[in-house]
Amino acid sequence: MFLDRPIAAFRKAKAYRTLCSLVLISVSMPAASQVLRGNCGNPDPDISIAGCTEEIKSDTVDLQSGREMQAATAHLATDYDSRGVAYEKKGLYDQAIADYNQAIALLPKTFTIAYFNRGNAYNNQGLDDQAIIDYTTAISLEPKGADPDFNLGDAYDYRGNAYEHKGLYVEAIADFTMAISLNPGLESAYENRGNDYLHKALYDLAIADFSKVISLDSRNVDSYYNRALAYEHKGLNDDAITDLTKEISLAPTFAGAYDTRGLAYAHNGLYDQAIADYTQEIALNAKDIPLHPVFASQYAGAYSNRGGAYEHEGVIDAAIADYRAALKLDPDMQSAKDALTRLGAEP
């Protein structure tokens, strides 16, 4: 029956912030603290790309002339890095990586932020191993976070995300913990660590982290939802319902919240409320079906769950209709087949 259904996988917390804070970049060497010249580093990526391209031409000439080699090298590296940031903003990750490669080649032992930015570009491409290498290099170059343009807490937070993508939750938790120690107000690190605790069934620790996120941002919908999942795993259905009700007030079109609250209501024997939530979920899933085939299984699950609630209420015709609707969407759903057999009905 639907009460045996595993609790839905939690939503991923938002993992990456924008790169806008990286537009003005300095390097730890003379002249590197100068503000980027012209339009290189402009918040508009197209303007920045054009400006940086011109600066690269100019600084390449200066470098080739042999004049002020140290300053010219720093300027040129910064130009490449800034253009890489602009390319990355546009989603042009290969071009961004090519520019970060140039920046790093010019300053391989001092340009921490370029390693960090290249790690972000790799991460955006799903290349977690390469991202981890770059984040690790950035951390090793700035072990105490001396560069004011490089946030060491962010480096641990982002590397933690890359570890998480690889399923290395112990390593991810260690990095998120380090990020929090460096920046106790880093909301994303608490959120991501809470997700990993949830993965490892450490529900009390997960609840503590999601509660911290909510204390920092009372409108963080992901943490209300994820904390509700942890509560539900602990059998604290009333607490889960409270969090999911708040989640729904903030994000009324998220079907998963209705699904999970419906399950909590059902666990509490409140089948009318469960039916109402599954009905709302079905209505929302119907809108999502054209977007991606994956929604078909969720849609089928909502019908099956509502069928289970109807069955508990003794409304057998409605239960049979919902189990059949589930099978129409997912012909391989064994639980719906078993339910129809139990009720003496044909699929």
Indicate whether 309 pLDDT > 80: yes
- CA pair distance 311, 322, nearest whole angstrom: 10
Nearest to 44 by CA among 20, 66, 27: 20
Reported as a pLDDT band with limits 50, 70 and 90, residue 149 is confident
Torsion on CA atoms 188, 193, 194, 198, rounded to nearest 10: 140
Nearest to 307 by CA among 331, 271, 280, 332: 271
* Mean predicted confidence (pLDDT) in 119-147: 91
Indicate whether 37 pLDDT > 80: no
- CA pair distance 224, 261, nearest whole angstrom: 12
- CA pair distance 176, 186, nearest whole angstrom: 9
Give the pLDDT score at 209.
98
Indicate whether 311 pLDDT > 80: yes
**Largest distance between two CA atoms of the chain:** 89
Nearest to 48 by CA among 16, 88, 97: 88
The tens digit of pLDDT for each residue in 260-284 reads 999 999 999 999 999 999 999 999 9
- CA pair distance 310, 120, nearest whole angstrom: 49
What are the respective helix, strand and coil percentages of the chain, to the nearest 5? 70, 0, 30
Q: In this structure, is the dihedral angle defined by the CA atoms of residues 76, 73, 109 and 139, taken in order, positive or negative?
A: negative
The tens digit of pLDDT for each residue in 211-264 reads 999 999 999 999 999 999 999 999 999 999 999 999 999 999 999 999 999 999
How many of the other CB atoms lie within 10 Å of CB of 278? 31
User: pTM, whole model, 2 decimals?
Assistant: 0.83
- CA pair distance 244, 261, nearest whole angstrom: 6
Q: Which residues contact 213 (CB under 8 A, 6 or more apart)?
A: 187, 190, 191, 194, 220, 223
Nearest to 298 by CA among 344, 254, 244: 254
The tens digit of pLDDT for each residue in 69-106 reads 788 899 999 999 999 999 999 999 999 999 999 999 99
